[in-house]
Structure 1
Amino acid sequence: MEHVSTYLTPEIKLSCYEDHFFKSDVVFDHHMLIWFISGRTRIVQADGVHDFQTGDIFLIPRNQPATVLNYPKDGLPHKTVVMSLTTDILRDFYSGLGVKAGEPPVPKIRSFRQHPLLESCLASLVPYFAVKGPFPPDLAALKMREAISILRTVEPDLDSLLANFDDPHKVDLIHFMEKNYMFNLPAETFGQLTGRSLTTFKRDFKKAFNTTPQRWLTRKRLELAHYQLAEHRKKPTDVCYETGFENLSHFSYAFKKQFGYSPAQLLAPTGQAQAHPAS
């Protein structure tokens, strides 16, 4: 069964991957509040790898690259309630509060596990997905405001994130790319996230790294993959998806072309491969 999303409003949906694994490299335009009904998700970001499953609740900040890996689990589909906290909704919420965003915190995933207030708010939406007919706009607005209010109560410092509506500004290209090279995103998206047009991004990249973005990204991803395999003995499939490759066959081909041996040979106990990348 393919992915099915049922929408109450454009900002509130029930997402279901029935019986298959799904991978996506994304940059969310809005903060995403997610409650797990069943299944498992692994999210790779610059600050590390996050695993979530049934009952977990988490907030993904906007404008942050991520690799999202969705799995069914225990015979149940990957099913979540997703609430998109758009800029328009947050502007409206904060307009009468007089809250100043201040210095934004480090944009990282916030985990709330099985917080009873957030779970009650999001679980109360589930019955409406089975009801035919439009979802009342006033009720949708009320639910969104309830969720934001709970988030602010649970973590008061979230105001500096949720009430910040700035777009990405021009940032240090070398620092940004060294932190985010493992995400399989178009050059246009890397440009937007660093505050550059595509033309300016390519020009600045050539000046900083003396090569093209694609060549540099492939080399960096393969070096990271080699490290994960050799030092942490991770499975090739996990390494493939966590280092920006689309599928295992392409990853294995590129890996062998770069190092002269396959991921499986590197992991073999008989020492069929070198311990370190070939120069």
Structure 2
Amino acid sequence: MEPLTPTIVPEIFISCKKEAHYSRELVLPQPALVRVMSGEVRIAGAHRHFSFFAGDTVLFPRNQLGRMSKLPLNGEPCIAVSIVFRQEILSQYYTAHPIDPQPHQAIGLIQLADHPLLESLFNSLTPYFKLADALPADLAAFKMEEAIRVLRAIDKNVDQLLGQLDEPGKIDLADFMERNYMFNLTAAKFGYLTGRSLTTFKRDFKKTFNNTPEKWLTKKRLELAHYLISEQKRKPSDVYFDVGFENLSHFSFAFKKQFGYNPTAAFAA
């Protein structure tokens, strides 16, 4: 088979990573169905980590925090096919096929068991990746609706993920922040994910933590970094990214300011 190469299709596309590729924070604006063709795809959540390999198919919810890594494996690049479901397609489909309303709740990713319908769906997409241009909008919409029908046929739980079309509702701020402070997001994005405007987020944050988001986040991230370096003996260069810092120099400066010594000293202690 000829090597598959990335296309410019925005909603149905294939990615091919010959070198290890690490994303920053991943917050999908829409649900996405991903089929791993080769290599390894890792997802790091706040407290859970997942690894997916060739033949695995995963449905990712929107507005869920995580980091994605795409890694070659056994001499093969990481190749994955993705279908990102447009909001209007989901809205049209679930208007025509209503489901029982459920209260807004966080829904985790769904790993789908191998199934002939899934195999057929992704096999039918392969020829399109040889096109020089993006799929016509009507054809992309047709394939998205086909994917929705396939998913509903093989797993009844997908409706609660795909059919959740409302914006995030107001949730417990303290619980969310304690679980997700290591993700490097803006205050506005944290506010959105907790169902608040930026102004309301900052006001509620001050009331909850008696601190500003910036100062609280820095303190929490540095405390986690200190534990990972001093207790788990992870190198500072392997830690700063995972706890939400942009670069090593900024991390080292903030670490020394808070603890009075460099992160390398904590590692050597």
1:201 aligned partner, one-letter code: F
2:149 aligned partner, one-letter code: S
State the Cα distance separating 1:260 from its structure 2 match.
Answer: 4.2
RMSD, aligned CA: 2.7
1:244 aligned partner, one-letter code: G
Secondary structure, counterpart of 1:99 in structure 2: coil
1:168-199 Cα distance to aligned partner (Å, 9 max, x none): 12222212211211110111111111222222
1:89-110 Cα distance to aligned partner (Å, 9 max, x none): 1112222223223235541121
Greater mean deviation of Cα atoms: 123-132 or 258-267: 258-267
Pick closer, same or farther for the CA change 1:204–1:102 going to 2, 3 Å.
closer
Q: Percent identity?
A: 47
Pick closer, same or farther for the CA change 1:206–1:102 going to 2, 3 Å.
closer
Partner of 2:84: 84
Greater mean deviation of Cα atoms: 70-79 or 147-156: 70-79
Is residue 240–residue 248 contact of structure 2 (8 Å, CA) maintained in 1? Answer: yes
Q: TM-score, with normalisation over the residues of structure 1?
A: 0.81
Q: TM-score, with normalisation over the residues of structure 2?
A: 0.84
State the Cα distance separating 1:262 from its structure 2 match.
Answer: 4.7
- The answer for unaligned runs of 5 or more in structure 2 is none
Partner of 2:259: 259
Secondary structure, counterpart of 2:96 in structure 1: coil
Partner of 2:50: 50
**How far, CA to CA, are the matches of 2:92 and 2:198 in structure 1?**
32
**How far, CA to CA, are the matches of 1:256 and 1:116 in structure 2?**
56
Aligned length: 265
**How far, CA to CA, are the matches of 1:187 and 1:200 in structure 2?**
11
2:150 aligned partner, one-letter code: I
State the Cα distance separating 1:33 from its structure 2 match.
Answer: 1.1
Is residue 22–residue 70 contact of structure 2 (8 Å, CA) maintained in 1? Answer: yes
Partner of 1:26: 26
Is residue 31–residue 59 contact of structure 1 (8 Å, CA) maintained in 2? Answer: yes
**How far, CA to CA, are the matches of 1:189 and 1:123 in structure 2?**
37
- The answer for unaligned runs of 5 or more in structure 1 is 273-279
Determine whether 1:151 maps to 2:190. no
Pick closer, same or farther for the CA change 1:133–1:11 going to 2, 3 Å.
closer
**How far, CA to CA, are the matches of 1:110 and 1:140 in structure 2?**
23
1:180-224 Cα distance to aligned partner (Å, 9 max, x none): 111101111111112222222222222222222111111111222
Is residue 171–residue 194 contact of structure 2 (8 Å, CA) maintained in 1? Answer: yes
Determine whether 1:127 maps to 2:127. yes
Is residue 24–residue 68 contact of structure 2 (8 Å, CA) maintained in 1? Answer: yes
Determine whether 1:182 maps to 2:179. no
